[in-house]
Structure 1
Amino acid sequence: MARTGRPKALLELSEDEREQLQRWARRRKSSQALALRARIVLACASGLSNKEVATQEQVSTPTVGKWRSRFIEARLDGLADDPRPGRPATVTAEQVEDVVVATLESTPKNATHWTRAKMAERTGLSKSTIGRIWKAFELKPHREEGFKLSNDPLFVEKVYDVIGLYVDPPESAVVLCVDEKSQVQALARSQPAFPMMPGMSEKRTHDYVRHGTTSLFAAFNTADGTVISSLHRKHRAVEFKKFLAKIDTEVPDHLDVHLVCDNYSTHKHPTVSRWLEAHPRFHMHFTPTYSSWINQVERFFAYVTADLLQRSDHRSVQALEADIRNWVKAWNEDPRPFIWTKTAEEILTSLTRLLKRINGAGH
């Protein structure tokens, strides 16, 4: 006689159990583990053997036996996961809500923002628990970011104007982002720096001696990334007009020149306006107030600062200017244009969402 193995316990379903198992098995939002267990029980109830169910669901035979037995023993409740070992949770939902609301809507006594230690003292929870709650809700009280919204009544028009030059530049023309990096200081450290070594970062003294300042005028070509630059000890309308004259000599005569500038008074001085009237191929495009982020030359200045000025050590303005000229020359040997990807509509939509979030947080 062929061996049939140990007889299986009879598995029968009530109508309510069958309907619930079928819902678990087909609902997309169900846990995949729970859906599998429901399918196993339904298949077993249809009369299939453990081995046949295992083949059908592509699981092991012991897995089928486990959930068959669990269902027979505890019915639908038996398909839930076993409680995990360890101490049960001691932080209630009300405590979590209290931490989140206090973080968002209050400040501690004699401080501008919450720290884990201060919030732990307030709530009686541990600092690590506070940290986990903040992480779960993406709260970072120790961090802040600066911003200033433009109050320019022509903000929308100026955004469309400037972004239009970036994404759809005019034909037979060059688009230059222009600005001055003023008050660049020639700083001499009081002591020589300690060079970087394995396990030790470079060390510099915090004190220095000032040896004068200079201003870097730059016109960043949005098409190819090249830069026309000039250095002046002052940054008045007179110097800006000289810089415009330099641009005029370096840009081929057959091209129109579109300049993207901020609203600094120097750029609108009568001296500059008269020069522009005498050179009709120049067209000025002003960025909205408090919107330096829209002027690509600001990103170029950030490279100058990070690569050269941040750790500079110059004993004279002449030495500083020589280094800046060499740095710009090297940049132009391998220029890097910036690829502008945001349209004016996308920028305005993002600002609208920000304003809604800010206004909502204030109520």
Structure 2
Amino acid sequence: MRHLIAGYDLSTDRLYGHVKARKGRTEFLAFCRYLRSLHPAEVRIAIVLDNFSPHLSTRTDSRVGEWAAANNVELAYTPFYGSWLNRIEAQFTALRYFAPDGTDHESHREQASMIRRYIAWRNRHVTDPRLRKVIRRAETIKRAKVA
């Protein structure tokens, strides 16, 4: 089993992701450090956290919160049953559509490679009409489900 830990930068419309064997707080904190390294230290960044288990554990384990406070990072939690508020969800729909759907990988390594290749392609082709269509449709469906 592999897990994708991902971030979506709204200001640049870029997707970032690391495929990991585990999805614990240690891996999550390492990814947060990576996201922080993408911007100058004086620029405050916000990391939106959903109901992913390592995100929820940040409320009881102070390592991530202390790191965030010391590194000009705001942690913003989406409410339960509010995943449609998290803009990365539509990006995950597009990732599934363009990468693993309809495939049968012989190994986790092969699947992880496909996901990394998709992220690189996606970031080079942010205006691709097919990509925009899938993302728009995913955003619309998420909003419609709560109405």
TM-score range, shorter chain: 0.7 to 0.9
In 1, distance between residues paired with 2:99 and 2:68? Answer: 33
Would the aligned equivalents of 1:224 and 1:335 in 2 still touch at CA under 8 Å?
no
8 Å Cα contact 1:219/1:229 also seen in 2:
yes
Name 1:335's counterpart in structure 2. Answer: 126
Q: Does residue 1:225 correspond to 2:16, yes or no?
A: no
> Counterpart of 2:2 in 1: which secondary structure?
strand
For the structure 1 residues 251 and 312, does the alpha-carbon distance in structure 2 shift closer, same or farther, using more than 3 Å as the test? farther
- Classify the secondary structure of the residue corresponding to 1:309: coil
- Alignment match, 1:322: 113
Which structure is richer in relative contact order (CA contacts within 8 A, separation 6 or more)? 2
Structure 1 residue 254, shift from structure 2 partner: 3.3
Residue deviations 1:122-171 (CA, integer Å, cap 9, x gap): xxxxxxxxxxxxxxxxxxxxxxxxxxxxxxxxxxxxxxxxxxxxxxxxxx
Q: Report the residue type matching 2:38 in the other structure.
A: E
Question: Structure 1 stretches of 5 or more lacking a match?
Answer: 1-212, 340-346, 355-363
Structure 1 letter corresponding to 2:65? S
Q: Paired residue for 1:294, among 66, 69, 85?
A: 85
1:245 pairs, out of 33, 48, 63, with 33
1:257 and 2:49 equivalent?
Answer: no
Match in the other structure for 1:45: none
Which structure 2 segments of 5+ residues have no match? 137-142
One of 313, 321, 326 as aligned partner of 2:104: 313
SS at the partner of 1:230? Answer: strand
Q: What is the alpha-carbon distance in structure 1 between the residues aligned to residue 11 and residue 68 of structure 2?
A: 23
Q: CA deviation at 1:226?
A: 0.6
Matched, 1:276 2:68: yes
Q: Distance in 1 between matches of 2:7 and 2:67?
A: 17
In 2, Cα distance between equivalents of 1:242 and 1:290: 26
Amino acid at match of 1:253: A
SS of alignment partner, residue 315 of structure 1 = coil
The letter of the residue matching 1:221 is: D
**Displacement of 1:265:** 4.2
Q: Is 2:92 the partner of 1:304?
A: no
User: Distance in 2 between the 1:255 and 1:223 partners?
Assistant: 12
Larger-Rg structure? 1
Matched AA of 1:331: R
Equivalent residue number for residue 140 of structure 2: none
**Greater helix percent: which structure?**
2
Q: Give me the TM-score of the superposition, normalised by structure 1.
A: 0.33
3-state SS of the aligned residue for 2:30?
helix
> Does 2:7 align with 1:216?
no
Partner secondary structure for residue 332 of structure 1: helix
Identity value in percent = 22
Q: CA deviation at 1:271?
A: 2.4
| Separation in 1, partners of 2:42, 2:67 | 19
Query: TM-score, structure 2 length as denominator?
Result: 0.78
Residue 223 of structure 1, CA deviation: 2.5
d(CA) in 2 for partners of 1:297, 1:332: 14
1:274 CA displacement = 2.5
